[in-house]
Amino acid sequence: TVRVANNTIPNECNQEDFSQTACGFVVEFVDIVEERGMNSTNTNVGGWEASEMRTYANRAFFNKLPEDLRNVIIDTKVVSGHGSTTGETNFTTTDNIYLLSAHEVWKNNFGRDTAYDQTRQLDYYAENGVTTSKYSGAIKKNINGNASSWWLRAASSYSYNPFLYVTDDGNWYVDDANNSYGFAPAFRIG
């Protein structure tokens, strides 16, 4: 099951270094599609751009989607945060399928996503008032119907191995890249 997570294009979406992941017609999976790690090794070096999750999302997962849906999914400029490795900057990729970022879910900045200011909160989460103190609107369920944790695309800026994720109660946390959490991607249609 999917939902329309966004259908607006505010002025900030026109900024050159701004992620397009929360601009225009964005569709997200309501719940977790499957569980997997961000990387088989415990690293966030290279962030979303170098992650095994990104490769899976844009190849194997994308190819599982019905052809008529694949034909309307558009390339999206994705800006994602980096870990604490010296010299890294935020990453910009072009993806069909992507994970959400911290700001696309929660309104307020809690300092772990270096690309926080390069995107915006999705309409769906804004309309549900999701913040880091009111977060039940970020809960997703696994295939058994139980609330479960799900990955975000941001490498934690405090270390070289964790990524951010949404906990089973909708709050945020970080964990090692090789742990399995929910895969609940989004995409844009154009």
73: helix, strand or coil: strand
CA atoms within 13 A of residue 184's CA, in its CB half-sphere:
29
Contact 33, 2 (CB under 8 A): no
Backbone angles phi, psi at 106, to 5 degrees: -105, 140
Residues sharing a CB contact under 8 Å with residue 109, sequence separation 6 or more, in sequence order: 102, 103, 116, 117
- pLDDT confidence of residue 85: 73
Q: Which pair of tokens denotes residue 165?
A: 């994720």
Q: Is the dihedral of CA 136, 140, 146, 152 positive or negative?
A: negative
- Contact indicator for 49, 63 with CB cutoff of 8 Å: no
Q: Would you say residue 87 has pLDDT above 80?
A: no
Which pLDDT does position 160 carry in this prediction? 86
Instruction: Report helix, strand or coil for 169.
Output: coil
pTM here is 0.96
Checking if the pLDDT of 27 tops 90, the result is yes
- pLDDT tens-digit readout, 129-166: 999 999 999 999 999 999 999 999 999 988 889 999 99
Q: What's the confidence (pLDDT) of residue 110?
A: 77
Q: What is the pLDDT of residue 86?
A: 66
Give me the mean pLDDT over the 108-121 stretch: 91
Q: Does the structure show a pLDDT above 90 at 109?
A: no
Nearest by Cα to 77 from 169, 161, 162, 190 = 190
pLDDT above 90: percentage of residues in the chain: 91
SS3 readout for 131-166 = CCCCCHHHCEECCCCCEECEEEEEECCCCCCEEEEE
Q: Percentage of residues in the chain with pLDDT exceeding 70?
A: 99
**Could you give the CA distance from residue 170 to residue 134 in angstroms, rounded to a whole number?**
9
Quick check: helix, strand or coil at residue 71?
coil
